[in-house]
Amino acid sequence: MHEEHLHVISPQVHRHHENPHELQLRRAKLRASAEELVNTAVARGKDLAGPELRKYDAIVTEMKEIGSALERHAARAQMPFEATTTTATTPKSAFGAQLREAYARASSDVRAQIDSLAYTLAGLPQANADLRPSADGGVIIPSIIQQIMERNYAAFAPVVSVARLFPTADGDPTTFPVISDSESAVQLDSAASTGADATVSGDTPPTAITGPVLKAWKVSSKPVFVPRELITDSPIDIVQEVIGALLARIIRFENLKYTKGAGSTEAEGFLTDATAYHAGSGAVLDLDMALDLAYSVPALYRPNGAYMASDITVKYLRKLHTGISGDKRALWKDAFEEGNATLGTPAKLHGYPVFVNNDMDSVSSDGTFASVSPLVFGDFSKFVVRQAENNAPFAYIYPVPAKDGRAAILFRRSDSKLLVSTAISKLIV
């Protein structure tokens, strides 16, 4: 039985807080509505007027607002990110500049929290702000610091950018409520029972809405040593170098599990429960195969569909040519306003957005993909990421006297689950 999220628990999300994928889909629908209004007026031989003109103006205004929101997303996305290796760190010039700007604009209480976090890392007595939660020796990361870090490391978290997020105040196991979308209505005789009792035409509905149980698997950044002399840098540099690097480790690990996690002792990745679309033995990836994959997903989920693949796989598809000798024209053509990095819009294939996830396996140089799944397509809003404790990272900082310094370690808890297995299809041999 297919299942769908029951919307009664979802809060209203302001448009400027939506992820880029949702904004792009909304803009496409608005553009289609505007074109329909114009075409209808042309067919009648009249100009837009009255309610139709006001509706058209409202659509144009909303499209401009979405364009501005996408530009803001693009501005954040264009900041240099930490490299994918575990040894690199984000350049101070970009990340640190954002932190310093936020610090300058923050209230005195927030600045005191940031200062205290930096002094706590260095083990100095100036750490006077109380960042400790009750009955625990850990330290809470100030929310303004977390928000900036999350944006800078967004390149490590492509799954979160398109998934349905489910923040909770605690980490207790919780049931994510769903309701069947495979049941159909029934027709009743006018004198028949309404079905408002225990049975409906022989079908016994559930007495309560149920769904998958989401846990809160703890992810550890592993500790890093902080020398006491680090305080010679500014408080912002200390937080950037230490907390930023530890959070980047967690975000990278989370994305890996959201992609491939087994689900029994860790978060469940979307690849684990996605429906398999089988290509023939020895198949070579091409654009037609990608389209077949998209159409293997039920029509209910295709309107919000998106492709996801690694950089290597996307580059391979982009390099496919006509096959005519000497003809270098690519088969994958970007339409107007598609794949524009300055607008924050991803590339599109067959009209659907393409998101890069380097935790997915890649095709070989000849396009074959023996025992891996290099391409997926589907509605990622059916993949839910539970963010325990409102996704706040939790730090422990403890002395290391033998090295005249301290150690810091970060933790965060989350889980993930694909609600509808048919909503996402994965390409396999």
Question: Each residue of 419-428: pLDDT tens digit?
Answer: 999 999 999 9
pLDDT for residue 214: 94
Amino acid (one-letter) located at 196: A
For residue 35, give Cα distances in angstroms to 23, 24, 58, 59, 108: 18, 17, 13, 10, 51
Alpha helices in 78-107 (DSSP H): 97-105
pLDDT for residue 257: 97
Kindly give, in sequence order, each residue whose CB lies less than 8 Å from that of residue 390, ignoring residues fewer than 6 positions away.
Answer: 167, 168, 169
Distance CA 330, CA 322 (A): 7
Name the token pair of 280: 């023939």
Q: What is the pTM of this model?
A: 0.71
DSSP state of 94: I
Which residue bears the tokens 């297995």? 421
Q: For the segment 121-175, what is each residue's pLDDT rounded down to a tens digit?
A: 877 665 555 555 544 567 778 888 888 888 888 888 999 999 999 999 999 999 8
Distance CA 395, CA 239 (A): 12
pLDDT for residue 46: 75
Distance CA 284, CA 323 (A): 15
Name the token pair of 123: 């083990």
Contact 206, 243 (CB under 8 A): no
Residues of the chain with pLDDT under 70: 1-21, 70-96, 124-137, 180-183, 192-209, 230-235, 323-328, 334-345
